[in-house]
């Protein structure tokens, strides 16, 4: 059985009468990427701050590496906050060494690892620049390096793709997967559902302070399979007008997304389409995590 790096047990945090987190429980296993999701104001940031020992829960407890969370765990952890915290007038290398030393690294080791990471993220030419001279995307790279410089075992990334163009987003995704393959455990909080589908093994969806969906991403998608299909075909689309058995959802060049009307057999529909056009691909469409997210939030009855 996989080791539990994080255990959140019936955690509640209130501000006056408002419950930012309400009796939330979930586990995060070693060597996985765990998606912490929810709409704005759902309670994600409060929960992340609880896990980082910035706040203390009013009820429940949080275990890290099997022990009750305490300040001694923080040097084994990393936190990339959504709100950036770089010193704008400090040079990049001085900044990274400073953050490394805060996590217990020597000046020599922090400098060496900082230069390694700057090269890996193609930011080495900015090593002696002040942060205020960097673009938003470059600042995000420096913030990311500062967070993981001390080789933490447990990493929390809050909106890490903010400010990145598609190329740099791919670089970061690759690094996250590399860290996972090294046995690191990662919590990823993001509103980009495509990134969640590509990176996360498990997710927890929070809405209005309550846990409304959790589990393995693949299993969640399987459970939410719907009456959606896609067809790719060769030739013109005139045959579509003869398909009274379906309802078109989206129409593209040589492809349609559709639902099948009630009491229609898939096999008989395929046979009919095959007589009308050349089928390249006919498949049951897997639901997008974004659609599941929206549907669960709308129907969570909170």
pLDDT digit string, tens, across residues 144-172 = 999 999 999 999 999 999 889 999 999 99
Quick one: 239 and 147 in the same domain?
A: no
- Strands ordered across the beta sheet of 154-158: 77-80, 154-158, 185-189, 33-37, 202-207, 210-216
The pLDDT score that the predictor gives to residue 1 is 60
CA distance 156 to 172: 14
Mark whether 236 and 168 lie in a shared domain.
no
Q: How many CB atoms lie within 10 A of CB 16?
A: 5
Please report, to the nearest 10 degrees, the dihedral formed by the alpha carbons of residues 153, 159, 160, 164 taken in order.
Answer: 170
Domain that holds residue 163: 4-222
Structural domains of the chain, count: 2
CA distance 177 to 38: 22
The CA-atom distances, in angstroms, between 71 and each of 26, 61, 147 are 21, 14, 17
Whether 302 shows a pLDDT value over 70: the answer reads no
pLDDT at 287 over 90: no
Closest CA to 256 of 239, 294, 266: 239
Dihedral angle of Cα 97, 150, 103, 183, to the nearest 10 degrees: 170
In a shared domain, residues 155 and 106: yes
pLDDT in tens, 14-47: 999 999 999 999 999 999 999 999 988 899 999 9
What pLDDT does 234 receive?
A: 93
Please state, for a pLDDT cut of 70, what percent of the chain lies above it: 99
Judged against a pLDDT cut of 70, whether residue 78 lies above it is answered with: yes
* Local confidence band at 193 (pLDDT 50, 70, 90 cut-offs): confident
- Per cent of the chain over pLDDT 90 is 76
Do 173 and 97 share a structural domain?
yes
Strands (E), the chain: 4-15, 18-29, 33-37, 59-64, 67-68, 77-80, 154-158, 185-189, 202-207, 210-216, 229-234, 246-252, 255-260, 278-284
pLDDT beyond 80 at 2 = no
Lowest-pLDDT range of 237-241, 247-251, 257-261, 287-291: 287-291
Residues 82 and 145 in one domain: yes
- pTM, two decimals, is 0.84
Q: Report yes or no on 182 lying in a domain.
A: yes
Q: What is the CATH number of the domain that holds 174?
A: 3.40.50.300
Q: Final residue of a domain: which of 173, 198, 222?
A: 222
- pLDDT, residue 47, reads 96
Any domain includes 158 = yes
Asked if residue 299 is part of any domain, the answer here is no
Residue 204: pLDDT band (50, 70, 90) is: very high
Please answer whether residues 282 and 228 qualify as being in contact, where contact means their C-beta atoms are separated by less than 8 angstroms. Answer: no
Q: Which residues have C-beta within 8 Å of that of residue 260, sequence separation ≥ 6?
A: 227, 229, 245, 246, 266, 269
Q: For residue 246, give every residue at least 6 positions away whose Cβ sits within 8 Å of its Cβ, in sequence order, or none.
A: 229, 258, 259, 260, 261, 264, 269
Verify that 170 and 244 share a domain, yes or no: no
Statement to judge: residues 70 and 45 lie in one domain: yes
Residue 202 domain flag: yes
Q: Which of 176, 195, 222 is the last residue of a domain?
A: 222
CATH, residue 249: 3.30.70
Residue 301 lies in a domain: no
**In the beta sheet, which residues pair with residue 256?**
231, 251
Same domain as 53, residue 41 = yes
Q: Please write the tens of the pLDDT for every residue from 85-123.
A: 889 999 999 999 999 999 999 999 999 999 999 999 999
d(CA 272, CA 285): 20
Same-domain status, 178 and 53 = yes
Same domain, 216 and 230: no
Together in a domain, 131 and 148? yes
Residue 157 confidence (pLDDT): 96
CB 257 within 8 A of CB 228: yes
For 81-177, where are the E strands, in sequence order?
154-158
Pair (218, 80) in one structural domain: yes
């Amino acid at each position: 059985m996989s080791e539990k790096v994080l255990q959140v047990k019936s955690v509640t945090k209130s501000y006056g009468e408002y419950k930012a987190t309400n009796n939330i429980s979930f586990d995060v296993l070693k060597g996985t990427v765990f998606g912490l999701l929810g709409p704005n104001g759902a309670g994600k940031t409060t929960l992340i701050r609880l896990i980082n020992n910035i706040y203390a829960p009013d009820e429940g407890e949080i275990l890290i590496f099997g022990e009750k969370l305490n300040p001694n765990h923080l040097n084994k952890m990393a936190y990339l906050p959504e709100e950036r915290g770089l010193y704008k007038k400090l040079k990049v290398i001085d900044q990274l060494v400073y953050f490394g030393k805060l996590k217990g690294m020597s000046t020599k080791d922090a400098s060496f690892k900082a230069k390694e990471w700057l090269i890996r993220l193609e930011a080495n030419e900015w090593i002696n620049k002040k942060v205020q001279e960097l673009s938003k995307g470059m600042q995000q790279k420096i913030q990311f390096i500062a967070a993981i410089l001390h080789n933490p075992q447990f990493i929390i990334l809050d909106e890490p793709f903010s400010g990145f163009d598609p190329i740099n987003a791919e670089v970061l995704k690759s690094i996250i997967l590399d860290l996972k393959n090294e046995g690191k455990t990662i919590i990823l909080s993001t509103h980009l559902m495509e990134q969640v589908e590509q990176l996360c093994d498990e997710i927890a969806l929070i809405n209005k302070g309550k846990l409304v969906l959790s589990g393995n991403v693949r299993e969640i998608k399987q459970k939410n399979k719907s009456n959606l299909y896609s067809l790719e075909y060769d030739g013109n689309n005139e045959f579509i007008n003869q398909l009274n058995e379906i309802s078109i959802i989206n129409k593209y060049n040589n492809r349609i997304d559709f639902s099948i009307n009630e009491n229609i057999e898939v096999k008989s529909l395929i046979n009919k389409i095959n007589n009308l056009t050349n089928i390249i691909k006919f498949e049951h469409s897997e639901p997008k995590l974004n659609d599941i997210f929206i549907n669960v939030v709308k129907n969570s009855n909170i």
